[in-house]
Amino acid sequence: MILYHGMFDLVEIYGLHIPWFVERPGYVWQQSICWIFILLSGFCWNLGKRHLKRGLVISAWGLLITGVTYAFMPSEKILFGILTFTGTAMLLLIPLSKVLERIPSWMGFAGSFLLFGLTRNVNRGIWGFELFYFGRVPKVLYRGLFMTFLGFPDPGFFSGDYFPLFPWIFLYLTGYFLYGMFIKFPEVKNALRIHLPAPFLEAAGRHSLLLYLLHQPLLMLVFTAADVLKIL
């Protein structure tokens, strides 16, 4: 993720010409990062505690990032970004988990992933997945800030990082149910108890939110210094 964001900054902010990054390979790279992050977030919901506190904290950071980007980087403002989505998903699963835990894991996994595939393109006004679509979503849904939050962006809406509730909540739920499928295997249970041999990696895991919040400002600082020194 850090490497991708570094490349994004170089291309979109500092104007570095990297053709493959703005074409299909760059898109596939970006999507793979998003998918893995959201899947793992849903998977790890089952491992965590204090969901209310963590959900509120992450949502608050998402709101702060929105305010900062609106104030200092309006051309790259972030509204309903990945932190807002993650915090919202964590909070939603607090009441929903009582119902979801009654659903067989394999059925929940298959159903959630199917719904993700069917709704992947709703942000673009169509039902379907990527290049495959099955019809248009009623235009009446694409009105207002709340509907934009849900996944039906208002005409003219822009965000440098847009992860609405739909379709991404279904991928989050796919990860949630994936945990239920895997935890039945003793090998998985044992693997989840293992402490990482590298202290750096273990510390990075414990402070992943802090790393996420700091990596972009640090990248910008490095790239700005390089730009001033005419290295870029």
Percent of the chain with pLDDT over 70: 88
Tens-place pLDDT, residues 101-135: 999 999 999 999 999 999 999 999 999 998 888 89
Tell me, what's the pLDDT at 207? 59
Tens-place pLDDT, residues 47-84: 888 899 999 999 999 999 999 999 988 888 899 999 99
Tell me, what's the pLDDT at 203? 47
pLDDT mean across residues, the chain: 86
Quote the domain boundaries for residue 13. 2-228
pTM, rounded to two decimals: 0.85
Domain count, the chain: 1
Q: How many angstroms separate the CA atoms of 163 and 150, rounded?
A: 9
Q: Name residues whose C-beta falls within 8 Å of residue 155's C-beta, 6 or more positions apart in sequence.
A: 142
Tell me, what's the pLDDT at 93? 96
| pLDDT confidence bin for 201, thresholds 50/70/90 | very low
